[in-house]
Structure 1
Amino acid sequence: MKIIQVTDLHLVQPGKLLCGLDPLDRLQRCIENINEHHADADMVIFTGDLSDTGDEETYQLLATELNKLVIPYHLMLGNHDNRDVFLRVFPSIVPEDGFVHRVVDTDEGRFILLDTLEMGRVEGRLDGTRLAWLKQQLQDASGRSVYVFTHHPPFPIHMPHLDPIGLIEAGELFELLKEHGNVRHVFAGHAHRPVAGSWRGIPVSVLRGTNHQSALGFAPDKLAVTHEPPVYGVIFIDRETVIVHSHDFLDTSAAYY
């Protein structure tokens, strides 16, 4: 199956810029590119920070643009989002225990979309309620492959300014995933960096966002914003492989011979 991952839209009010860039224009061009090249995908998963401000107007903008998307989609929340405002604009999304988490069952296995938003905090959280929900979803998927999507990475990426604002309950999450024993990949956002590797034996990946990015740097006192190209992920999953392509959708330099 084919999945598209889009992350960190950071929408602001129309006509305003963020880090010198227009997040709405970036999203529009992203959706146009997906429609043109990946209308055969099974779904798009938006892994959080849909809004930069959490205000209603930004979610209304998002809803308008999503109407143009030709394939099904699922929305997740990040630390910049506001859960209550989001749910007002997207009333068809029914929260569970007050959280915007869900499972999507497919022929290739169960996709678990986590809600790691803790209102007022930059770092991600999975409190007892959310961990209990996750445990039940993993138990219900006994014997099946599982793929986890989360805004906040639960694994270190070794950038001193980003690791402290990842997922706080990373250890608790890992114990649940280890108990299930068949978690094939963890997909994340939040870091605005292209990252791939493994976390205690579980393959992981992170993508750049659709607007601004975090500069690659390992100094403990510096974090810079860059205008590196925005991307979306093109993910292929079958019984033997999980392949993640990172597509610079604004690049027009391709020449065919």
Structure 2
Amino acid sequence: MNILHISDIHFRKTYLLKNTDYLEMLAKMQSPLTHLEECLTEVLANHRIDVLIISGDLTEDGEVEDYYFLKQWLLNIVGSIPIIVTLGNHDIKSNFREGWFAELPSEDFYNDVMHFPDVSIIAFDNSYFGYPNGIVDSKQFEWLKNQLINAKGRPIIFVTHHHLLPTQITMPEWPGSKQLIQLLQSHNIKCILNGHTHHPFISDIQGIPYYTVSGMSFIGEDEGDGLVRFEEAYGYNLYRFSDEKITEQSSRNVKPGKLLKMIKM
């Protein structure tokens, strides 16, 4: 089974007016769909992909039409390949539901489970719009416990938006990380996938392979004293899942060297 993992597209058909340094930075950026099309074209020309995983921040505070446009754009390229998503802190749940699924708007957490012959993929929503570090919700943990129990020992790929390890970057990890890791340890988790940081990272958590994928839009490099250098950057991860484990992993990470803006955070 071949899995393509992307994250943090931060798409908008039209970015907001330039009234902050961050928005001015976004306005200087190429459309993330330019990078995404390059990556998808490259991958699909060389690999048979069984599922596409997007680990959050599909849009940049997107409207309903942004989600609708992005989904149709993706389907036009990937065709019938299943897509499983989780949401990030820049995703507005009501707009996502209305634009992505044509459902009634709701601010409820969005979780998903997709079953394949050899593995189940659980997408767990740990984000909420306006909370950069994510939030912890007891009902979310209860939902996840039930899903893990219902899996009855099947192999699981676990997907969420925020990173879980405090040592991987200066950004704070998700505040529910310790509780989540304790829960996952007692089940048949074969890998953990996430985004959010825009910085690729590979490690393991108590023996579980852990992959943070590059963003598909920009990257922030800490220059010290609160100064962050924003550049265009994009990439993806590929995984081969067989024999109930990740048997191959590869990444493509591109930094064209285009400075977008230096921002005092």
TM over 0.5: yes
Aligned to 2:249: 244
Aligned to 1:116: 126
Structure 2 Cα separation of the partners of residues 57 and 154 of structure 1: 31
Counterpart check, 1:36 vs 2:42: no
Aligned to 1:185: 191
CA RMSD of aligned residues (A): 2.7
Aligned to 1:194: 200
Counterpart check, 1:91 vs 2:101: yes
Offset of residue 104 of structure 1: 1.3
Structure 2 Cα separation of the partners of residues 50 and 36 of structure 1: 24
Contact persistence 2:128–2:135 (CA under 8 A): yes
Cα deviation digits, residues 23-58 of structure 1 (max 9, x gap):
2322333333343333x2111011110001222232
Name the aligned partner's letter for residue 49 of structure 1.
D
How many residues are treated as equivalent by the alignment?
Answer: 244
Offset of residue 114 of structure 1: 0.9
Q: Mapping of 1:55-204 within 5 angstroms?
A: 55-68=63-76, 69-70=78-79, 71-91=81-101, 98-160=108-170, 162=171, 164=172, 166-180=173-187, 182-204=188-210
Determine what percentage of the aligned residue pairs are the same residue. 27
Name the aligned partner's letter for residue 35 of structure 1.
L
Q: Which moved more, 1:166-175 or 1:185-194?
A: 166-175
Contact persistence 2:98–2:104 (CA under 8 A): no
Query: Among residues 47, 51, 59, which one is paired with 2:59 in the alignment?
Result: 51
Name the aligned partner's letter for residue 175 of structure 1.
Q
Tell me the TM-score normalized by structure 1: 0.84
Tell me the TM-score normalized by structure 2: 0.82
SS in 1 for 2:186: helix
Segments of 5+ residues of structure 2 without an aligned counterpart are: 17-25, 257-265
Segments of 5+ residues of structure 1 without an aligned counterpart are: 252-257
Q: 1:187 to 1:46 in 2, by over 3 A?
A: same
- Tell me which protein shows more strand as a share of its residues: 2
Structure 1 Cα separation of the partners of residues 103 and 155 of structure 2: 25
Cα deviation digits, residues 179-236 of structure 1 (max 9, x gap):
22x2121111001011001123322111111111233x585734332234x1111111
